[in-house]
Amino acid sequence: MSTESSPGDSHARDVAAFLTYLAKERNDSPHTVKAYGRDLMRAQRAAAGGDATAVGFSLLAELAEIDGRRVVYEDVLAMDLAEVSALQSEVIGENFQLPPPRI
């Protein structure tokens, strides 16, 4: 019996820790926590594995719309780096409160 963990196990632990943080530390509603969990799981399935870049691109696709049209994973793959960065900045700005800068 192997005691090594797979990248999928690590990802599942990270997702569980993040969802716990949302529920316990940020006091997000159960509906919000469930929605984040759903989006993260869809992104992981779309990436078909545990490649961090693929999961990130898939999550970006789950959260983004361009001109009212849902973005799919393949759309993100077809973008150049500047387009991905701009889309990521837009999604983060709309959905996440950035922490205050450290002084």
Q: Residue 26 corresponds to which tokens in the numbers above?
A: 């940020």
pTM beyond 0.75: the answer is no
Check whether 7 has a pLDDT greater than 60: no
**The pLDDT of residue 57:** 82
**The pLDDT of residue 6:** 54
Cα distance between residue 36 and residue 23, in whole Å: 11
**The pLDDT of residue 81:** 86
**The pLDDT of residue 76:** 86
Comparison of pLDDT for 39 and 31, the residue scoring more: 31
